Amino acid sequence: MTANSPAPYAPHTTPGIAAAATDLTKVYGSGDTRVVALDEVSIGFREGEFTAVMGPSGCGKSTLMHCAAGLDSPSSGSVRIGTTELSTLGDRQLTQLRRDRIGFIFQAFNLLPTLTALENITLPATIAGRRPDQQWLDRVVAMVGLSQRLGHRPAQLSGGQQQRVAVARALAARPAIIFGDEPTGNLDSRAGAEVLGFLRDSVRELGQTVVMVTHDPVAAGYADRVVFLTDGRLVDEMTRPTPDRVLDRMKALDTHSHTS
Ligand SMILES: Nc1ncnc2c1ncn2[C@@H]1O[C@H](COP(=O)(O)OP(=O)(O)OP(=O)(O)O)[C@@H](O)[C@H]1O
């Protein structure tokens, strides 16, 4: 197959798909240290859907997220954000695409300590030289309950509030898709539940597309769909998950991976 010919099945060409990976493979190292972190993974993320990515430690969750978000380049296969094929972009275009069309939420809140909450939220727009859409910004800020805290600096906010700032920052640019890597990993269960609730609201109320890597079945229970990775392969999928069902599926996969 040539680089330009269509894949035998191509989720990225389906309307309503915010992002898609096709036959995505990522190999780190070579010889004795060679690791196949992703092994021909094909997956589409539908617009307005909240997907959780789960699987045992080292199965390739972060690698999938990094490749899908254009933070890392695949060894082979393709990634599309909307209709844009990432491999066709140069470094500057890729940086621009990440800034304009992808939102990120990491375990560490990654806020700039000298800026206020509002300045942190609008920083990506400021860097891009754009005026934020005030109506949209008001809606996002109200949704994450930060209206009274906009003048505070990160050190004056709790961990949960800081992560809400990071959620608002990710939503502010109306990205095609938001990727979260363990976004509640540093939060206690109450603050984590709040942040997960806001992510779910952003999908239900604002039509946002969200993909979240998590180890936590409770967090996955907020998603519309859970995909399970094992050894760099997509092995299972669940719609309308509950924490109990996710936990059962993880146990089954764990048993299977130890007996196969
Ligand atoms: N930069 C790298 N160089 C070499 N190997 C790497 C690199 N990054 C990841 N790996 C390897 O690729 C595999 C997948 O790693 P990845 O971080 O994607 O897994 P994960 O499922 O996110 O793990 P965890 O849940 O522990 O965060 C692992 O075996 C890891 O050791």
Quick: pLDDT tens for 214-242: 999 999 999 999 999 999 999 999 999 99
Assess if residue 77 is contained within a domain.
no
* Number of domains comprising the chain: 1
**73 Cα: distance to centroid of ligand 1 (angstroms):** 14
Assess if residue 205 is contained within a domain.
yes
pLDDT, residue 6, reads 41
Ligand 1 atom nearest residue 55's Cα: 21
Assess if residue 113 is contained within a domain.
yes
Ligand 1 atom nearest residue 66's Cα: 18
Residues with CB under 6 A from ligand 1: 28-29, 35, 37, 55, 57-63
Assess if residue 246 is contained within a domain.
yes
Q: Give the domain extent around 131.
A: 47-70+91-259
pTM attached to this predicted model: 0.89
pLDDT, residue 61, reads 95
CB 21: neighbour CB atoms within 10 A? 25
pLDDT, residue 9, reads 36
**223 Cα: distance to centroid of ligand 1 (angstroms):** 23
pLDDT, residue 3, reads 43
pLDDT, residue 11, reads 43
pLDDT, residue 230, reads 95
**157 Cα: distance to centroid of ligand 1 (angstroms):** 32
Closest Cα to atom 24 of ligand 1: 57
The tens digit of pLDDT for each residue in 161-204 reads 999 999 999 999 889 999 999 999 888 888 899 889 989 999 99
pLDDT, residue 255, reads 73
pLDDT, residue 256, reads 66
What does pLDDT average to over the chain? 89
pLDDT, residue 133, reads 86
Assess if residue 172 is contained within a domain.
yes
**64 Cα: distance to centroid of ligand 1 (angstroms):** 10
Ligand 1 atom nearest residue 26's Cα: 12
Encoded tokens for 158: 């709790």
What is the SS3 assignment for 33-90?
HCEEEEEEEEEEEECCCEEEEECCCCCCHHHHHHHHCCCCCCCEEEEEECCEEHHHCC
Give the CA count within 13 Å in the CB-facing half-sphere of 86.
29
**76 Cα: distance to centroid of ligand 1 (angstroms):** 17
Nearest-angstrom CA–CA distance, 120 and 110: 10
Nearest-angstrom CA–CA distance, 175 and 234: 25
The tens digit of pLDDT for each residue in 130-152 reads 888 899 899 889 888 899 999 99
Domain CATH number, residue 230: 3.40.50.300
Closest Cα to atom 18 of ligand 1: 60
Q: How far is CA 152 from the centre of its chain?
A: 27
Assess if residue 7 is contained within a domain.
no
Assess if residue 227 is contained within a domain.
yes
Nearest-angstrom CA–CA distance, 101 and 9: 25
pLDDT, residue 257, reads 64
Q: Give the residue-averaged pLDDT of 105-113.
A: 91
Rounded to 10 degrees, the C-alpha dihedral 232/6/90/20 comes to: -50
Assess if residue 27 is contained within a domain.
no
